[in-house]
Amino acid sequence: MNNYYDILGVTKDSTTDEIKKAYRNLSKEHHPDRGGDENKFKEISEAYGTLGDENKRQGYNNKLNNPFSNFSDGNMNPNDIFEQFMNAGAGGARNNRPGQDLNANIRVTLTDIDNGITKTIRYQRRVFDRSKPPQTCIICKGRGVVNVMGPFQTRCSNCQGQGRVTAHKILNQQVEFDVPKGVNDGERIFYAGFGNEDVGGMGNLYVVINEVPHPVFQREGNNLIIETPLTFPDLILGTSIEVETLRGLIKVNIEPNSKPLDRLRVKGKGIHSDSGVGNLIVILKLIVPEKINKRERKILEELKISENFNIIK
């Protein structure tokens, strides 16, 4: 097994905050949703799942200092010792069924994404009920193995080779977490050890980001797109208008002789993220009045036959 400290690039003397920071940086770099390697991401998450918990970290340090600590009680069956040595290179305990991973969906607005926000989720997960003693497995009768095809034996699937079955209970869990600025719709935030529990350990929790559609803006990465209505004279003569952003109104100048569907780029008025700030894209949308009065009609008829408007033959 690879050393968890080496995987995260930290040392035994590193603080919990330093380990957390290293995990955040590495998980962002290797996250599968961002083109990273899934196996590397799982390796990083596994390392943080141990080193990020003080109790698990202490137990891990004890194992590093004494690799044979699992055999120190003197009561282990020699066959079990042999099996541990034989399985050491092939994952050993990984043959046990791991706890089920859980997904939790969280709805966030563009304003939440722009500012970053702390959210709390509540959910239920299945863990061992340690107030009840384990019961002997009724399938393997406590042996941990069952016979197949005569003399051959295989690990009991009911107890995962433990010989005993532990009762479960439903735990009401609450997790508070930070939604990072600029997070993308569908992105998953990973929490090691917050899933269901089984003999192979705790499963993980994946918080899935669901972006709530905005009534005004469309999103392209960290850029925001907004349509602004303009009349024909506004486009020809130019004007100054107020345009909405996620952080208030701003003034935008429309140049003379602008055309419908022109896109104006306002730098730094998009979504804020760890990598910078996006832009606001203003699309000029021509609005045609439903009714005109006699005076307006007369002006338009005069324009229609004037030199600069009579260009389509």
- Supply the pLDDT for residue 227: 96
- Residue 74, pLDDT score: 39
* Residues 1 and 81 placed together within one structural domain of the fold: yes
Q: Domains in the chain: how many in total?
A: 3
For the record, the structure tokens of 264 come out as: 């104006």
CA dihedral sign of residues 11, 15, 16, 17:
negative
- 287 located within any domain: yes
- Assess whether 179 and 91 both reside in one domain: no
Look at residue 91 in the predicted model and tell me its pLDDT: 37
Asked whether residue 18 is domain-assigned, the answer is yes
Return the structure tokens found at 78: 């020699």
The residue out of 180, 197, 212 marking a domain boundary is: 212
Asked whether the whole model's pTM tops 0.85, one would answer no
Q: Six-digit token pair at 58? A: 């202490």
Residue 13 confidence (pLDDT):
86
pLDDT of residue 97: 66
Residues 79 and 21 in one domain: yes
Domain boundary among 189, 212, 235: 212
Looking at the structure, do residues 239 and 252 belong to the same domain, yes or no? Answer: yes
- Displacement of CA 273 from its chain's centroid (Å): 15
Q: What is the pLDDT of residue 24?
A: 81
Same domain, yes or no, for 118 and 185?
yes
Residues 245 and 208 in one domain: no
Return the axis-axis angle of helices 16-30 and 38-51, rounded to nearest 10°.
170
- For each of the chain's 313 residues, which pLDDT tens digit applies? 578 888 888 888 888 888 888 888 887 788 776 677 777 888 888 888 888 888 888 888 877 775 544 433 434 343 343 344 334 333 333 346 678 999 999 999 999 999 999 999 999 999 999 999 999 999 999 999 998 776 778 888 888 888 999 899 999 999 898 899 999 999 998 888 899 998 888 999 999 999 999 999 999 999 999 999 999 999 999 999 999 999 999 999 999 999 999 999 999 999 999 889 999 999 999 999 999 999 999 999 998 888 888 776 5
Do residue 20 and residue 81 come from a single domain? Answer: yes
* pLDDT (0 to 100) of residue 86: 36
Domain containing residue 51: CATH number: 1.10.287.110
Q: Do both 207 and 288 map to the same domain?
A: no
In a domain, 234, yes or no: yes
The angle formed by the CA atoms of residues 172, 50 and 8, to the nearest 5 degrees, is: 130
202 in the same domain as 251: no
Closest CA to 145 of 159, 135, 134, 133: 159
Tell me, yes or no, whether 100 lies in a domain. yes
Q: How far apart are CA 71 and CA 67, in angstroms?
A: 9
In a domain, 137, yes or no: no
**Is residue 296 in some structural domain?**
yes
Residue 196 lies in a domain: yes
Q: What is the CATH number of the domain that holds 232?
A: 2.60.260.20
Radius of gyration of the chain, Cα coordinates, nearest whole angstrom: 31
250 and 196 share one domain: no
- 177 and 112 fall within a common domain: yes
From 212, 242, 268, the end of a domain falls on: 212
Nearest to 265 by CA among 235, 234, 223, 233: 223
User: Rounded to a whole number, what is the distance in angstroms from the first to the last CA of the chain?
Assistant: 80
Same domain, 184 and 272: no
Instruction: Say if 253 falls within a structural domain.
Output: yes
Residue 34 lies in domain: 1-95
